[in-house]
């Protein structure tokens, strides 16, 4: 079939116009998506005044990247205050101590506020008392002031399945406690001394930071947990509330506007895909179901076991 030259040219023009409209529609759609992402993301503007927010969740362990990021906040002149949002049952005593010391360095330069979530117990409470003021919900679980050392002894199980374990050690206390033999009196005495030393440190810290007598701190440090309301009554926290109340307190007491943007403290994100995977709800629930975080704890532990 033959077409007139003018008809062919017109057909080509229509095709070009249609392609241009398609491209324009795609550009508009991409722009809308980008605008939605920007509007919902927490965008940091370099040099802008803000309030930093550190999230402490799950089991607390030694974390150099976390502690380094916290220490950097002390020198960040644009971060006018730090809110520490805690939702943790605790963790290793040394990890909690490291975080506490880093937060105290920040507190020398600017206000540090602790906001407790569902749980801020044991090592989570060590984290909280680094702050100038502690907020908690009425039904927050906190307290659990104490230290524990646990060791699983499976020698009888190994006997039943016919497994022998040979241990060669130099020194009467080397390798104690061991999962392969019962703990003797000498080993138990050494462990008790170790636990008592850390417990004394914890109690003294509570007495100092909460302005309590040591006798009162000892009375509260029997390992029990408290609701937020109970903790307020015994002066383990300062106020019932959350982040909104914390921001209002900063404005009222420290002259820091509650309308300043709140920026999350980010650290340890070398592998974003792995981070997203590990923090996904599916993997997080899988870890919780197997108790994986707690199974990896070594050494002295300041942790509330629900």
Catalytic residue among 96, 122, 130, 198: 122
Pairing mode of beta strands 141-143, 262-264: unpaired
Pairing mode of beta strands 79-92, 50-60: parallel
Burial of 69-107, coded b for 16+ CB within 10 Å and e otherwise, reads bbeebbeeeebbbbbbbbbbbbbbbbbbbbbbebbbbbb
CB 91 within 8 A of CB 123: yes
Catalytic (active site) residue 122? yes
State how far the Cα of 206 lies from the Cα of 204, in Å rounded to an integer. 5
Catalytic residue among 19, 155, 174, 288: 174
Cis peptide before 177 (omega within 30 of 0): yes
Residue 163: closest CA among 146, 140, 179, 145: 179
Specify the residue for token string 């005044």: 49
* Residue 284 in tokens: 């997080």
Burial class (CB within 10 angstroms; exposed 0-12, middle 13-18, buried 19+) of 158: middle
State how far the Cα of 203 lies from the Cα of 246, in Å rounded to an integer. 26
Residue 135: closest CA among 87, 71, 74, 70: 87
Q: Which H/E stretch holds residue 3?
A: none
Catalytic (active site) residue 174? yes
Which residues are marked as active site?
122, 174
């Amino acid at each position: 079939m033959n077409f007139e030259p003018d008809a062919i040219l017109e057909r080509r023009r229509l095709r070009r116009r249609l392609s241009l409209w398609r491209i324009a529609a795609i550009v508009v759609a991409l722009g809308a998506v980008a605008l939605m992402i920007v509007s919902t993301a927490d965008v940091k503007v370099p040099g802008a005044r803000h309030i930093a927010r550190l999230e402490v969740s799950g089991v607390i362990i030694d974390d150099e990247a976390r502690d380094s990021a916290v220490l950097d906040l002390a020198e960040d002149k644009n971060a006018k205050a730090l809110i520490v949002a805690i939702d943790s049952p605790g963790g290793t005593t040394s990890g909690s101590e490291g975080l506490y010391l880093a937060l105290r360095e920040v507190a020398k330069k600017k206000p540090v506020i602790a906001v407790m979530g569902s749980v801020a117990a044991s090592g989570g409470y060590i984290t909280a008392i680094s702050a100038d003021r502690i907020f908690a919900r009425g039904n927050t679980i906190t307290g659990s002031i104490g230290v524990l050392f646990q060791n699983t002894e499976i020698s009888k199980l190994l006997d039943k399945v016919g497994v022998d374990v040979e241990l060669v050690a130099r020194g009467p206390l080397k390798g104690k406690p061991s999962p392969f033999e019962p703990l003797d009196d000498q080993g138990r005495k050494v462990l008790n001394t170790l636990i008592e030393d850390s417990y004394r440190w914890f109690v003294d810290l509570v007495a100092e930071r909460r302005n309590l007598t040591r006798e009162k701190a000892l009375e509260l440090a029997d390992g029990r947990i408290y609701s937020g309301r109970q903790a307020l009554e015994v002066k383990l926290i300062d106020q019932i509330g959350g982040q909104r109340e914390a921001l209002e307190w900063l404005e009222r007491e420290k002259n820091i506007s509650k309308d300043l943007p709140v920026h999350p403290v980010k650290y340890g994100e070398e592998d974003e895909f792995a981070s997203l995977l590990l923090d996904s709800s599916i993997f997080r629930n899988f870890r919780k179901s197997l108790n994986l975080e707690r199974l990896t704890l070594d050494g002295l532990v300041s942790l509330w076991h629900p």
